[in-house]
Amino acid sequence: MKHKVFVSRIIPDEGLNLVLDACDAEVWQDELPPPREILLEKIRDKVGLLSLLTDKIDAELMDLNPQLRVVANYAVGFDNIDIPAATQRGLPIGNTPGVLTDTTADFAFTMLMSAARRVVEGADYVRAGKWKTWGPKLLTGIDIHGATLGLIGFGRIGQAMAKRASGFDMRVLYYDQYRREDLEKSMGVVYADMDTLLHESDFVSIHTDLNESTRHMFNNDAFAKMKSSAVLINSARGPIIDPAALYDALSSGKIRAAALDVTEPEPIHMDSPLLTLPNCLVVPHIASASIATRGKMAEMAAKNLIAGVNGERLPTPVNPEVYEKGIRK
Ligand code: DGY
């Protein structure tokens, strides 16, 4: 008999077909996530859950159904899941590391370039019928080549950004809780403490995870330390930036521009003052959204789910320590 699982959204066929073949799957068909009470109801009789970053997976959900053997998150980030609670309950959690690194870095660099060279403002200008002539000062931006890029977080995606920056002859600083002396020479990057990075960078790009030490890391204090010509790029998690402090920094000229793939909250409210600023580019959490990468993420999440329902070790567990403790049966 096939194991019952819940898939909380339609994922690409590369993963969905694997799940449909291996499991007795119920797939949430709506474009919007299942409301909380429906998610809780759906997992009551399931052995596995393939979740999205929009689903909150907490102790309440885990305790509703002791038969739930695995949660496979369709994302590399897992701040939507209470990992200590899962580990304590012997519940393996999977994520999708690696496959989205280059796609996400491509997009973060695209946002950096778009903000520096005012691409979206230029397109809006043309569509609004404002293009009357070539102008010496028309939509002038800042150079990318030769500028200093400060990376907050130097994991896979931060490193992939550094590679892209080297093609633009940028000077690259990084700040991370783990210093990577092994990579500094070969990648041509320099470790800097947070204050130095903020003082010296023309572009600051965020590639760290969201946790209690990074929540609102970009607040009034941080903006006060940045160059007034600096551009901030966030393709990590929205709450790393305090949105009120960002609005103040952008509207008062403390920094030049921001490009956000992620916001607090998500989706951003349509009455957010950030949306009134021409120097704030906001897109809807699409940094990993290439067709190929979303397919690979689906395949990885499906493989985690299927291994988990069969009581096997997940290919990419977030909490491998659960296997030493003993997993839920
Ligand atoms: C992730 O995987 O964590 C991204 O935010 C979505 O791809």
Residue-wise pLDDT for 224-266, tens only, equals: 999 999 999 999 999 999 999 999 999 999 999 999 999 999 9
Q: Is the peptide bond before 315 cis (omega within 30 degrees of 0)?
A: no
Phi-psi region of 52 (alpha: psi -120 to 50; beta: other; left: phi over 0): beta
Q: Based on the fold, state whether residues 52 and 83 are members of the same structural domain.
A: yes
Question: How far apart are the CA of 75 and the centre of ligand 1, in A?
Answer: 4
Query: Encoding tokens for residue 258?
Result: 């921001």
Q: Based on the fold, state whether residues 35 and 120 are members of the same structural domain.
A: no
Q: What are phi and psi of 71, to 5 degrees?
A: -125, 120
pLDDT band at 329 (very low <50, low <70, confident <90, very high): confident
Q: Based on the fold, state whether residues 125 and 66 are members of the same structural domain.
A: no
The answer to whether the CB of 206 falls within 8 A of the CB of 198 is no
CB within 8 Å of 171: residues ≥ 6 apart: 146, 147, 148, 149, 190
Check whether 21 has a pLDDT greater than 90.
Answer: yes
Please give the average per-residue pLDDT across 131-146, as a whole number: 98
CA distance 162 to 113: 14
CA distance 39 to 78: 17
What range does the domain containing 38 cover?
A: 4-99+291-325
Q: Based on the fold, state whether residues 140 and 154 are members of the same structural domain.
A: yes
Q: Based on the fold, state whether residues 110 and 88 are members of the same structural domain.
A: no
Question: Tokens 């609004």 sit at which residue?
Answer: 128
Provide the number of structural domains found in the chain.
2
Query: Which of 118, 164, 256, 285 is an active site residue?
Result: 285
Please give the model's pTM, rounded to 2 decimal places.
0.97
pLDDT digits (tens, 9 = 90+) for 84-114: 999 999 999 999 999 999 999 999 999 999 9
Of all protein residues, the one whose alpha carbon is nearest to atom 6 of ligand 1 is 75
Q: Which of 104, 283, 297 to mutate to test the pocket of ligand 1 (most atoms within 8 A of CB)?
A: 104
The answer to whether the CB of 91 falls within 8 A of the CB of 311 is no
Query: Which of 9, 164, 237, 256 is an active site residue?
Result: 237
Query: Encoding tokens for residue 324?
Result: 């030493």
The answer to whether the CB of 104 falls within 8 A of the CB of 236 is no
Spell out the long-range contacts of 278-281 with Cβ–Cβ below 8 A and sequence spacing 24 or more.
Answer: 278/121, 279/115, 279/250, 280/246, 280/250, 281/111, 281/114, 281/115, 281/120, 281/257
Q: Which among 4, 47, 60, 55 has a CA at the least distance from the CA of 27?
A: 4
- Determine the atom of ligand 1 nearest the C-alpha atom of 262: 5
Domain with 153 in it: what CATH number? 3.40.50.720
Q: Based on the fold, state whether residues 170 and 225 are members of the same structural domain.
A: yes
Domain final residue pick, 249, 265, 282: 282
**Residues facing 5 on adjacent strands:** 25, 48
Question: How far apart are the CA of 261 and the centre of ligand 1, in A?
Answer: 11
Q: Quick one: CA dihedral 316, 317, 321, 322, positive or negative?
A: negative
- Determine the atom of ligand 1 nearest the C-alpha atom of 288: 7
Q: Based on the fold, state whether residues 117 and 193 are members of the same structural domain.
A: yes
Check whether 127 has a pLDDT greater than 90.
Answer: yes
Give the Cβ contact number of residue 102 at 10 Å: 17
Q: Based on the fold, state whether residues 17 and 136 are members of the same structural domain.
A: no
What mean pLDDT value characterizes the chain? 98
Q: Based on the fold, state whether residues 9 and 52 are members of the same structural domain.
A: yes
Is 145 catalytic? The answer is no
Q: Based on the fold, state whether residues 146 and 69 are members of the same structural domain.
A: no
Q: Which of 208, 288, 316 to mutate to test the pocket of ligand 1 (most atoms within 8 A of CB)?
A: 288
Residues with CB under 6 A from ligand 1: 53, 75-77, 100, 288
Q: Based on the fold, state whether residues 95 and 105 are members of the same structural domain.
A: no
Q: Is the peptide bond before 84 cis (omega within 30 degrees of 0)?
A: no
Is 207 catalytic? The answer is no
Of all protein residues, the one whose alpha carbon is nearest to atom 1 of ligand 1 is 75
C-alpha triplet 238, 140, 285: angle, nearest 5°: 20
CA distance 9 to 292: 18
Query: Encoding tokens for residue 268?
Result: 């951003």
Is 266 catalytic? The answer is yes
Q: Based on the fold, state whether residues 116 and 199 are members of the same structural domain.
A: yes
Query: According to the model, what pLDDT value does residue 160 have?
Result: 98
- Determine the atom of ligand 1 nearest the C-alpha atom of 104: 7
